[in-house]
Each structure stands twice: as structure tokens, then as C-alpha cells.
Amino acid sequence: MQGDVETRLKELGIELPEAREPKVAKILGSNIAGNILYISGQVPQWNGEIPYVGKVGQEFDVKQGQEAAYLCGLNIIAHAKQALNGDLERIEKVVKIRGYVNSTPDLHEVASVVNGVSELFINVFGERGYHARTVAGVNVMPFNVAIEVDADFFIRT
């Protein structure tokens, strides 16, 4: 039987990218410890292609930054699905996300950029999608990506 989250993904017309394991470090894309699922920082990539390389406030405006954040969120959900053997219904709560925006020094809307992933989680997970959040504008990012986001989920074991 299909769960609420999968149904909601279909209703929203959302396709998930392939969950790709990190290539540049000996880390896991996800890790479960007790009832917490940790998803490593995800960059805005679609099956290996990275369309958002550059700074928000320079190469990209805030709306494009939100699109990049949304893509990070899709990758987070893909990793969660993989870690939970396809059962996204095990997610009881999105606990916290952290978004790091590769921004110019004068960009003050970094929180608005990360709204791209926050709104995705609320739309997909409903009440379970509301979360705590940390946002930072940063000077340098791996591969010069526009944004990286990680997430913690409370899960049913």
C-alpha cells in the first residue's frame, strides 16, 4: 500500500533524483542512530549534474537560489527513502535542517534562499515537515555550488 508521503509526491508531480553516495570523502550519505536519521549535506545536483555552480547574489538571484535549495531537498528525500528501504512513512518528523548559501557579502536574503527546501518539506510531509533550521551565508563551498543543505529526521524504528 502506498503511503501518504508517496501519494503527496505524486500529487505534487515530484520525481526524486538518484541518491548518490559522496565521492570526495569517506562518509555516508545517510546514517541512522537510534530514532534519528541524519542526511549528509546535499548539493543541488540531479543525477550527477550540478546546474547551480556559483554564488547567490552574483550568478544567481534569490529565486534561483530557492530552486537550488529545492533541488537539495529532493536529494535529501531521495537519501531518506534509500536509508529507510523505500518507506518514507517511517519519518515521524523533520527535526532540523541546516542550509549553507554560497553568497556574496551583500546578500542579506540567505534565509529566503533556504525557504526553497523548507517549503518543500512542509508540502511533502505536512505537519511532520515543520522543522527547526539554521541558515548561513558562506564564502566558499565544495565545487563552488550555490547551496548545501543537510537534515535530521525523527524516525519510527
- Whether residue 140 is predicted with pLDDT greater than 80 in this model: the reply is yes
Class of domain 4-12+35-148: alpha beta
pTM of the model: 0.96
* pLDDT for the residue 2: 62
What does the pLDDT look like over 117-134, one tens digit per residue? 999 999 999 999 999 999
Sheet with 147-155, strands from edge to edge, namely 30-33, 36-42, 147-155, 91-102, 132-138
* pLDDT for the residue 40: 96
Q: Give which of 123, 90, 122, 115 is closest to 13, Cα–Cα.
A: 123
* Residue ranges covered by each domain of the chain: 4-12+35-148
In angstroms, the CA 33 to CA 41 distance is 17
- Whether residue 72 is predicted with pLDDT greater than 60 in this model: the reply is yes
* pLDDT for the residue 3: 80
- Whether residue 1 is predicted with pLDDT greater than 50 in this model: the reply is no
In angstroms, the CA 86 to CA 91 distance is 11
DSSP 8-state class, residue 29: S
* pLDDT for the residue 22: 80
The SS3 call for residue 127 is helix
- Whether residue 8 is predicted with pLDDT greater than 90 in this model: the reply is yes
Beta-strand pair 147-155/132-138? unpaired
